[in-house]
Amino acid sequence: MPTPVKMPRLGESVAEGTVGSWLKSEGDWVEKDESLAEIITDKINAELPSPVAGRLARILVQPDQTVSVGTDIALIEENADVSAAPPAEPAPGPDAAPVDDTRQAATPVMEEKRASTSTSSGNGASAPHREEEERQRISPLARRLAREHDVDLSKIAGTGTGGRVRKEDILAYVEQRQAAPAAATTAATATITQYAQPTREVPQPAAAPVGARFVAPVPEHVATQAAPAAVPGEDVEVVTPSRMRLAIAEHMVRSKRTAPHATTVVEVDMTNIAKWLEKNKEDFKRREGYGISYVPFVMKAVCEGIRKFPIINSSWTEDNKILIKKRINLGIAVATDVGLLVPTIYDADQYTLSGLAKQIAAVAQRARTNKLTIQDMQNSTFVVNNPGTFGTIISVPIINQPNAGILSMDAVVKRPVVIEEDAIAVRSMMFLCLSFDHRILDGAGAGGFLQAVRTKLQNYGREIDVY
């Protein structure tokens, strides 16, 4: 009886996944945990490890095909003749991603495969081994894009781990290669138009240039809501959204349709925290090797608020139940060059302020260097967003489904404030904006949660123990 390989759940709110490419062919022998296929997610690309050792009997889902989570995508025959398995030197397998808790074990965790650093022993297999190392140096999606655009991979320096060539490297190279011909074509067209007889005909959409940038198909549910097709011209530039942008669009629209959003705002006096940071931030970074900002203070206060109002750490189910999560796994919004990512800090309430600062620095670094794992991108129970780093004063966030709420912390700004006995003083003030699912809690619960967060932040004194 063959063992089915299923499309893994790529996140708590994700219902489907796309096969980017198969790394094995039908009939190939695979070891347990050896990479079978590249799975494309809305945030990262990952390689799916084989659940068992055996022969790949049948591929059920073809590349670029999107299927629901749990769908059988391949069959592996465990009883295949072991003697037919490839001898000696197997392809390097992925590093195993640790699962720290049995509650996470049901979700397959996939890590990006790294290139092997071993060398041939000179037994006549050096050429195949070099080819295998070259295959590992180039992601499957990048390899396919290179074939489609006729790109010589030897001319591209990879920006991934260990010099791995990624799809972004291929697309950037194609765009740069097409820039000069496109400019020449535009100049020639302008010259012809200058001497052409004017007409009243309606302009037709321009044909796509040769070597046009590869993009993923637009999902039907996004395409049907798009504006009417635009015609490129001098005053209009048509941009095809990236796969991540399309996924973000789908998720934001679904969130607004799913949850009745309500927002409440409080103002927080951050003066004591601001003074402590001004005095100790540089010494802290020199001593610890990572920075500290307002974010860990707010996350610590959020954990305090969740303990007092656990209903905010919940989700609404399809059968009209409320699931209150016992663990506090805080998502932290991180802006990157390719889009907004929300990695998770597990059990955030168990960390000190210094520990939270370290975790924030670690996940932010992984996000900006494209090293996030699937585990990083799932199981958040509440999200903290920090648009204040861009100087925003008040922002209204959209809930990250299926969470019950999301908190935005805006810029800390000095301004005159009326304090005790009607005195006016210059204080460091910040707005906190909470968007919450009105199905799960009402204004009283949301206000009580924000009050608990504000009280925690304002109760810090001049001397703060971050350890």
**Catalytic residue set:** 438, 442
* Strands of the 45-49 sheet, one edge to the other: 45-49, 35-40, 16-22, 66-68
**3 state SS of 450:** helix
Tell the residue number behind the tokens 């958040």, with chain if given. Answer: 380
How far apart (Å, rounded) are the C-alpha atoms in residues 48 and 30?
Answer: 12
How far apart (Å, rounded) are the C-alpha atoms in residues 376 and 201?
Answer: 54
- Give the pair of three-digit tokens for residue 107: 């979700």
Q: Residue 233 gets which letter from DSSP? A: B
How far apart (Å, rounded) are the C-alpha atoms in residues 148 and 213?
Answer: 10
Strand-pairing partners, residue 6, are 72
Q: Please work out, in degrees rounded to the nearest 5, the angle formed at the alpha carbon of residue 41 by the alpha carbons of 37 and 44.
A: 95
Q: How far, rounded to the nearest angstrom, does the alpha carbon of residue 314 sit from its chain's CA centroid?
A: 22
CA diameter of the chain? 88
Pair 372, 343: CB distance under 8 Å: yes
Packing angle between helix 167-195 and helix 140-149, nearest 10 degrees? 30
Looking at 219-278, which runs of residues are DSSP E strands? 261-269
Tell the residue number behind the tokens 């659940």, with chain if given. Answer: 51
CA-based torsion, 219, 220, 222, 226: positive or negative = positive
Strands 344-345 and 339-341: unpaired
DSSP per-residue codes, 286-322:
HHHSS---HHHHHHHHHHHHHHH-GGGSEEE-TTS-E
